[in-house]
Amino acid sequence: MSKIKPSKGAPYARILGVGGYRPTRVVPNEVILETIDSSDEWIRSRSGIETRHWASDEETVAAMSIEASGKAIADAGITAEQIGAVIVSTVTHFKQTPAVATEIADKLGTAKAAAFDISAGCAGFGYGLTLAKGMIVEGSAEYVLVIGVERLSDLTDLEDRATAFLFGDGAGAVVVGPSNEPAIGPTVWGSEGDKSETIKQTVPWTDYRAGEVERFPAITQEGQAVFRWAVFEMAKVAKEALDVAGLDPADLDVFIPHQANERIIDSMVKTLKLPESVTVARDIRTTGNTSAASIPLAMERLLATGEAKSGDTALVIGFGAGLVYAATVVTLP
């Protein structure tokens, strides 16, 4: 018989606060057209993107995260000292070690919170949210800060017609804490590594260091393959997330998919047969694809504009490089 005492966590977990940060520089499609042969109409029709934000030298991964996190902590009505863990999802922190989460935890003023980074691409926010929920229910932390942050402009090949217009920078954060009722549903997540070549970094850092390639590594993708996978397979995952939460599409108030491409969003809405009453996040138009940051940024904007309200039931789904995915139903803070 085990001598280990059972954990004493909360019965459930919920998102208590959300915050976002977008860099001050707004980049219209006209800037992108300086380096690729395309048109504003083509970019909008293919992706829905009109503008995106690019970070300055001062708007680092850590700096953007701290700004977004401060807003989330204030929105949750707690102090930084109460944060027990900091989870950062990013693929654009270019120091292999230490994790940028440790710097963020320190500068926010947490009381030596556990801190670590995860790399799950555009599904990273969902992965972090799931880990946070587990910590709170298990009892290893009372409040967990989950951050999605990217400086994708650093990994964008501005001469690649397929991807140059897609990516933006920014940070989104949420505080997850205890709840007396279910407010974060079961997560449907997974990976399809056999499709990893469809979204990838062009070459490893070691090839660049060795001088085997002259161009700095960038993100590349097989657009049509990614589109088909996202539209057909991720709609199934979204439906499964609804099923395990015991909900139907008509029970939703809000749909917050990863802001990869507005055509993908439109197709998922159609496939899921979402009622017109469901608010759909379309932050892609002015923020671009910010990978791990896209869901919390879209959530923050919907709440700030009043398009969504506290207590709404929202389906969130992230999907991308790996290929990885994560979907769950949440109650909005």
As a whole number, mean pLDDT of residues 21-38 equals 97
- pLDDT confidence of 174, banded at 50, 70, 90? very high
The structure's pTM equals 0.96
pLDDT for position 132: 98
- Does the pLDDT value for residue 147 go beyond 90? yes
Distant-in-sequence, close-in-space partners of 318: CB < 8 Å, separation ≥ 6:
122, 123, 124, 125, 126, 257, 258, 292, 294, 295, 325, 326, 327
Q: What mean pLDDT value characterizes the chain?
A: 96
**Superfamily assignment of 12-182 in CATH?**
Thiolase/Chalcone synthase (3.40.47.10)
Nearest-angstrom CA–CA distance, 154 and 148: 16
What would the mean pLDDT of 303-317 be, rounded to a whole number? 98
Active site residue 122: yes
Residue that wins the pLDDT comparison between 215 and 174: 174
pLDDT-based confidence at residue 214 (cuts at 50, 70, 90): confident
Q: Do domains 12-182 and 185-332 have the same CATH topology?
A: yes
Is 289 known to be catalytic? Answer: yes
Instruction: Judge whether 258 counts as a catalytic residue.
Output: yes
Positive or negative torsion for Cα 21, 150, 130, 315: positive
How far is the C-alpha of 160 from the C-alpha of 302, rounded, in Å? 32
Average pLDDT over residues 306-310: 98
Q: Which of 29, 53, 258, 261 is catalytic?
A: 258
Whether residue 2 has pLDDT greater than 90: no
Burial of 49 (0-12, 13-18, 19+ CB in 10 A): buried
Q: Looking at 29, 53, 93, 122, which residue is catalytic?
A: 122
pLDDT of residue 273: 96
Instruction: Identify the CATH number of the domain defined by range 185-332.
Output: 3.40.47.10
Mean pLDDT of 91-108: 97
- Going by C-alpha positions, the residue among 267, 258, 263 that lies closest to residue 324 is 258
The pLDDT value given to residue 5? 84
Closest CA to 259 of 234, 222, 289: 289
Q: For the chain, give every domain's residue range.
A: 12-182, 185-332
The closest alpha carbon to 272, from 285, 289, 254, 290, belongs to 254
Each residue's pLDDT tens digit, 57-95: 999 999 999 999 999 999 999 999 999 999 999 999 999
Enter the DSSP assignment of 268.
H
Query: Average of pLDDT values for 218-247?
Result: 94
Does 329 have pLDDT greater than 90? yes
Instruction: Tell me, rounded to whole angstroms, the distance of Cα 248 from its chain centroid.
Output: 24
pLDDT digits (tens, 9 = 90+) for 3-24: 988 888 999 999 999 999 999 9
- pLDDT for 8: 85
**pLDDT confidence bin for 226, thresholds 50/70/90:** very high
The confidence score (pLDDT) of residue 304 equals 98
Tokens representing residue 3 in the block:
């001598």
